[in-house]
Amino acid sequence: MAISRSGCEGCTSITCTSTLEVLSSETGKQVKTAYDRIESRGMSACLFGSTGTCCRNCNMGPCQIIDGVEEMVGICGATADTVAARNFARIVAAGSASHTDHAREMVRGFLETAKGHGPHQIKDVEKLKSLAQVFGIETEGREVNEIAVELGEKALAEFGKQDGAPLSMLKRAPAKRQAVWERLGIAPRGIDREIVEMMHRTHMGVDQDYENLMLQASRCALSDGWGASMLSTELTDIMFGTPVPRRAIVDLGVLKPDHVNVTVHGHEPLLAEALCIAAQDPEMIELAKKQGAKGINLAGVCCTGNEILMRRGIPVAAGFVQQEIALATGAVEAMVVDVQCIMQSVAEVAKSFHTDIITTNYRAKMPGGVHIQFDEEAPLESAKAILTHAIKNFKKRGKFHIPQDTKLDVVVGFSHETINYMLGGRFRASYRPLNDNIINGRIRGVAAIVGCDNYKLLDNSHEVIARELIKNDVLVLATGCAATSLGRVGLVTPEAVRFAGPGLAEVCEAVGMPPVLHMGSCVDNSRILIAATAMVKEGGLGDDISDLPAIGTAPLWMSEKAVAIGQYFVASGAQVVFQSLPTSGAKKFHDYLLNGLMDQLGAKWNVAEDPMDIAKLMIKRIDQKREALGINKQRERVLFDMAMRRELGSGPLKDAGCHGPAGG
Ligand code: SF4
Ligand code: MSK
């Protein structure tokens, strides 16, 4: 459905009140946003492009293929199925490459920290030691930094590995899943290698068999999920602290009228962490005061926002579709960006105001932006140079409009470790209570709502799905911009328990947790793999991820990364539902994704257009798994007695003022 702002009086398709308020304001009317561009283009998407049957992989084309029409194959003879599979596989490769390049930077930053360079330290020593074990690193009697250097070097080697044993972290998966990968020959050998091979196999005249292409697409995606993304999440946690539950606020109302507002947008938390430290520097605060501001207000956008929200409680101003809207307030002195999901239009919107778009990464510059290169070897100095530039803009601020009533409370920071500790209690961290509550039916199952927002679709889709799921006792795990949008509508807080079904509500109340758990940014979907594995290993819910009453969705996916994530979930045994897939023009291949993969992987893609249909499909799949496990009959509610409440009520939210295992 096309979304129009139509001067905003007729904005019936945008439900977000802060977006509507800014677009209707004097400052908002000054700018053109994606909503205007969609309206003027009429959203007439190319049929061949959107159904996956346009090929421009060689200069005999581009070829537009019509499935089943003999003369409408490619000049080279490529069929609709081959073309759609190659296009799909390239999307997976691009998404995996983005996570991989992000992860590589984080590993390099981790190594610098391990060597004692820069402002950061190894914060989570326990996690360092447990990851060191996965990599076969001796920890007994060794200095923390010595272990960290060896871990960093071994982690960096995972990217360029060619042969030998597969990626180290694959062995964290359930044994049965590892056997599936081995049997199919899809255990990734090295992270970069799988992306390169995927690009090669989709070149003109190489792999023409869609089933064979999908084997490599799975291997490539697994190198992201169990390789790059997992490395990034784990090493970032070790360096900056594993997230623990903390209260924070989200939405455009987090911008402050009397402060220098600096929004941090992109993905790699090295820059954002350095900015957080620099923003507390008395020298910087003094400079802001000299310019007439009361201080410096950092606020996140997109996944960088989620990273600093999870670890520091820094507010998030906007998700993906609100990046232009944040600037349209006229209250942002600088938007500091690094990589991924930064729309080129932000430079154009900024021109209407005093705002600068500060690019910081040599890989991502844009016309109209001011470039201040982030120096990994001197992060604090770079951060101060960036902030100084932003502070100097404060005096130039003209009219602005910050929607004051849109500032929502959230409780975030649900890492795998937190869930383990929170549900298992202080003395025996474990997933046992979660599994037991699934088996006895209080919790029907677990659903992940992840990924982007997308201007093409109704902006309340995440909310509709989440409300239906929690109402039906399904615990929701959220990441990325989906988590931000759920925070904006008040579902990421313990108070949202009133919207949950009776069984889920009982568990949430006993622990004091929200029915929607914010697990972080888009690379943090690897946390969901670890959580799913922990559920399997705890016992009682089958012996593979594919046995769990669990499912994921990225209903408003926009980025290629979302498809890579979807594919690594499916290859790990978890079903996913998308609102659409760019493969529907190729009947056999499309059917292979929606059905055929099941035989090999025990999981598959699903498609449903309407958000409510997505939710219903997710519940249906969860119930099918419950039935297969023989636990569907046990859904009569067992009321908590006092002993049960006491046992669960010892988690961090109840008795530790929102501080978990690693402190706060
Ligand atoms: Fe056309 Fe084949 Fe070239 Fe693709 S690879 S553009 S289908 S000739
Ligand atoms: S930022 S990938 S829009 S989640 Fe990770 Fe949001 Fe999707 Fe970008």
CATH number of the domain bearing residue 368: 3.40.50.2030
Q: Residue 210 belongs to what domain range?
A: 79-240
Judged against a pLDDT cut of 80, whether residue 25 lies above it is answered with yes
To test the ligand 1 pocket, which listed residue (53, 71, 75) has its Cβ within 8 A of the most ligand atoms? 75
Residues 309 and 230 in one domain: no
Residue 138 lies in a domain: yes
Residue 27 lies in a domain: no
CB atoms within 10 A of CB 309: 29
Residue 22 lies in a domain: no
Q: What is the pLDDT of residue 408?
A: 82
Calculate how far, in angstroms, residue 258's C-alpha sits from the geometric centre of ligand 2: 29
Calculate how far, in angstroms, residue 506's C-alpha sits from the geometric centre of ligand 2: 32
The Cα-based distances of 574 to 117, 447, 541, 550, 606 in angstroms read 40, 10, 14, 7, 11
pLDDT band at 610 (very low <50, low <70, confident <90, very high): very high
- Mean pLDDT computed over 211-238: 98
Calculate how far, in angstroms, residue 59's C-alpha sits from the geometric centre of ligand 1: 7
Tens of pLDDT, residue by residue over 37-53, are: 988 876 567 889 999 99
Residue 265 lies in a domain: yes
Domain boundary among 175, 209, 240: 240
Domain count, the chain: 3
Cβ-contact 586, 562 below 8 angstroms: no
Tens of pLDDT, residue by residue over 522-557, are: 999 999 999 999 999 999 999 999 999 999 999 999
Tell me the percentage of the chain whose pLDDT exceeds 70. Answer: 92
Residues 481 and 609 in one domain: yes
Helix (H) / strand (E) containing 299: strand 296-301
pTM over 0.85: yes
Place of tokens 């399997």: 536
The rounded distance, in Å, linking the Cα atoms of 478 and 245 is 14
Cβ-contact 65, 72 below 8 angstroms: yes
For the chain, percent helix, then strand, then coil, each to nearest 5?
Answer: 50, 10, 40
Residues 273 and 323 in one domain: yes
Residues 430 and 353 in one domain: no
Q: Taking all residues of the chain, what is their mean pLDDT, rounded to a whole number?
A: 92
Calculate how far, in angstroms, residue 96's C-alpha sits from the geometric centre of ligand 2: 13
Domain boundary among 207, 240, 273: 240
The rounded distance, in Å, linking the Cα atoms of 490 and 486 is 7
Residues 503 and 460 in one domain: yes
pLDDT band at 633 (very low <50, low <70, confident <90, very high): confident
Q: List Cβ neighbours of 202 (8 Å cut-off, separation of 6 or more).
A: 57, 86, 87, 89, 90, 93, 213
Residues 322 and 420 in one domain: no
- Nearest-5° Cα angle at 428, 423 to 432: 50
Judged against a pLDDT cut of 80, whether residue 401 lies above it is answered with yes
Residues 333 and 439 in one domain: no
Residues 518 and 563 in one domain: yes
Judged against a pLDDT cut of 90, whether residue 494 lies above it is answered with yes
Q: What is the pLDDT of residue 429?
A: 77
Calculate how far, in angstroms, residue 590's C-alpha sits from the geometric centre of ligand 1: 20
Q: Is 558 in the pocket of ligand 2 (CB under 6 A)?
A: yes
Residue 469 lies in a domain: yes
Q: How far is CA 137 from the centre of its chain?
A: 29
Residue 64 lies in a domain: no
Q: What is the pLDDT of residue 457?
A: 87
Calculate how far, in angstroms, residue 565's C-alpha sits from the geometric centre of ligand 1: 28
Residues for the chain: how many in total? 664
Residues 417 and 329 in one domain: no
Domain boundary among 213, 240, 267: 240
Residue 655 lies in a domain: no
Token representation of residue 548: 């769990």
Tens of pLDDT, residue by residue over 408-432, are: 899 999 999 999 888 776 567 789 9
Q: Is 556 in the pocket of ligand 2 (CB under 6 A)?
A: no
Tell me the percentage of the chain whose pLDDT exceeds 90. Answer: 86
Q: Is 58 in the pocket of ligand 1 (CB under 6 A)?
A: yes
Q: Is 341 in the pocket of ligand 2 (CB under 6 A)?
A: yes
Query: Hey, which residues does 561 pair with through a beta bridge?
Result: none
- Mean pLDDT computed over 640-663: 49
- Mean pLDDT computed over 621-638: 85
Q: List Cβ neighbours of 157 (8 Å cut-off, separation of 6 or more).
A: none
Upper half-sphere CA count for residue 264 (Cβ side, 13 Å): 29
Q: What is the pLDDT of residue 1?
A: 39
Place of tokens 């996956």: 52
Calculate how far, in angstroms, residue 538's C-alpha sits from the geometric centre of ligand 2: 31
Residues 233 and 90 in one domain: yes
Residue 572 lies in a domain: yes
Helices (H), 258-321: 269-279, 282-290, 302-312
To test the ligand 1 pocket, which listed residue (48, 63, 67, 73) has its Cβ within 8 A of the most ligand atoms? 63
| Ligand whose nearest atom lies closest to the CA of 58 | 1
Q: Whose CA is nearest to atom 6 of ligand 1?
A: 61
Calculate how far, in angstroms, residue 356's C-alpha sits from the geometric centre of ligand 1: 43
- The CATH number given to whatever domain includes residue 230 is 1.20.1270.30
Q: Is 72 in the pocket of ligand 1 (CB under 6 A)?
A: no
Q: Is 522 in the pocket of ligand 2 (CB under 6 A)?
A: yes
Residues 471 and 620 in one domain: yes
Q: What is the pLDDT of residue 639?
A: 57
Q: Is 57 in the pocket of ligand 1 (CB under 6 A)?
A: yes
Cβ-contact 608, 617 below 8 angstroms: yes
Tens of pLDDT, residue by residue over 337-382, are: 999 999 999 999 999 999 999 999 999 999 999 999 999 889 999 9
- Mean pLDDT computed over 214-218: 98
Upper half-sphere CA count for residue 382 (Cβ side, 13 Å): 22
Tens of pLDDT, residue by residue over 62-112, are: 999 999 988 899 999 999 999 999 999 999 999 999 999 999 999 999 999
Residues 201 and 265 in one domain: no
Q: List Cβ neighbours of 632 (8 Å cut-off, separation of 6 or more).
A: 623, 626
